[in-house]
Amino acid sequence: MMRHAQPKVLFSWCLYDWANSGFATVILAAVLPVYFVSLVPEDGARLPFIGHTSSAASLWGYSVSLSMILLAVAAPFLGALADRHARHKSLMMIFWLGGCAATAALAFSGPEDYLLVSGLFIIGNLGFAGANIFYNSYLPLLVPSHQADRLSARGFAYGYIGGGLLLAIVFTIIMLAENLGFSDRAAATRCGFFLTAFWWFVFALPTFFYLPRTQSTFSREAPQPRQSYLSQFRQLLRYRDLSIFLVAFLCYNDGIQTIISVSAVFARDELQLGQGTIIGCFLMIQFMAMPGSLVFARLSEKVGTAQAILVSLIIFLAVCFYAYRIQTAIEFWILGSVIALVLGGSQALSRSLYASMVPREKSAEFFGFFTISSRFAAIFGPLLFALIADVSGSSRNSIVALGSFFIIGGGLLLLVNVQRGRNLAKTSTEPFNESIDIK
């Protein structure tokens, strides 16, 4: 049977969540979106070659979508390559370094460089999400399925603390910009981007030092990377409950990821809230989400992982309708506190539930599909948000439309037989368990 990883290995795995969550809080969620809006002229961003003018919110949504389209196309090939040639760690390192470099380059942007910032964000987001394919694929290799909920929640808890701490530091730098010698808050914000890259780089080093090398699963019968994605998806369809869960995850994660990526733009553009209010609310979310993820891990032990996820989706649905009506900063803070309670739990449990039904000899390849599901969620949600905002002239309509993703995703989740999926994964991976070196 598969051996348990040593505590230092589990710690180093969790520490990567601490390291890369700075990108999620500063770049993806709270600081860069507000900075990006400030770069776009009041009459909108004029896109080259097509001559179309888009609002800041729409252009941001398009940027998120494009980066995720590129990753979704490459994810199955990358996962298969990692599994068959034991390149989990090396491929994760390539995406990590690329993401750090693009994030650091954001510090050199200037006024009206919204296209440059958009391009660097696309590269950085590719690095962030691409590295997570291989990071997540370690989860079923490090612990048995009955321990996956706790380890996944622990990783997210580290991430919320690390991401929240970095956001607090960057927020302080921006608020005290003049006292710290910066010419203005924009210059302090750009310093925050460089600090985010440094944080991601330094704290991820123990991860690459301690995470074990994996062994190749290459065989003559294994389909080669040159084969079509269709043949890889046919393998996935053999795991019925895993496939249904992926579709469910695609739907409800669409709503979650869109709420995360556009909430700062919504607060700035629709509610006219200041940068201090927005960042302060995100700080609150980070530190409240940490205990929330642990609470949901405990809840899953009592009612089941899938049922605990369903509870979070019902709350997210209520959030969409409440967001449609809010007008003030206080209401925005109330909204943020509710999101904080369910955000970490829904993400951590989704990852661990999927990991428990994944055949271990295909961990990276199948987590490539998981990334496709999560990244397509980051395509359709922001794209729908941008299109509705463009057509209707109000991002409030976009927010309430996100509720449909939680309804559809929750309905599909009810069709998943978790125990059957876990039994099938265990049966198909029994010979593989002996071959993984996780010392």
- Among 175-179, 228-232, 283-287, the range with the most confident prediction by mean pLDDT is 175-179
Does residue 11 have a pLDDT over 90? yes
Window from 83-97, 117-131, 166-180, 375-389 with minimum mean pLDDT:
375-389
Query: Helices 229-237 and 56-85: crossing angle, nearest 10°?
Result: 80
For residue 320, how many other CB atoms are within 10 A of its CB?
19
Indicate if the alpha-carbon torsion angle 104, 107, 110, 112 is positive or negative. Answer: positive
Window from 147-151, 172-176, 349-353, 370-374 with minimum mean pLDDT:
370-374
Q: Rg of the Cα trace of the chain?
A: 21
Does residue 317 have a pLDDT over 70? yes
Alpha carbon distance 356, 243 (integer Å): 13
Residue 141 · residue 437 · CB < 8 Å: no
Rama region for 272: left / alpha / beta (φ>0; ψ in -120 to 50; rest): left
Per-residue pLDDT band for 379 (boundaries 50, 70, 90) equals low
Per-residue pLDDT band for 174 (boundaries 50, 70, 90) equals very high
Per-residue pLDDT band for 3 (boundaries 50, 70, 90) equals very low
pLDDT of residue 380: 75
Q: Domains of the chain by range and CATH?
A: 7-44+52-212+228-430 (1.20.1250.20)
pLDDT of residue 218: 46
Window from 153-167, 182-196, 351-365, 421-435 with minimum mean pLDDT:
421-435
The pTM score is 0.73
Window from 182-186, 414-418, 424-428 with minimum mean pLDDT:
424-428
Of residues 381 and 31, more confidently modeled: 31
Rama region for 304: left / alpha / beta (φ>0; ψ in -120 to 50; rest): left
**How does DSSP classify residue 431?**
T
Return phi, psi of residue 46, to 5°.
-90, 120
CA distances in angstroms from 159 to 8, 287, 394, 430, listed in the order given: 17, 10, 33, 32
Give the chain's mean pLDDT: 82
Q: Residue type for 146, please?
A: H
Alpha carbon distance 432, 360 (integer Å): 7
In percent, the amount of the chain with pLDDT more than 70 equals 87
For residue 338 the two structure tokens come to: 């509710």
pLDDT of residue 94: 95
Residue 15 · residue 153 · CB < 8 Å: no
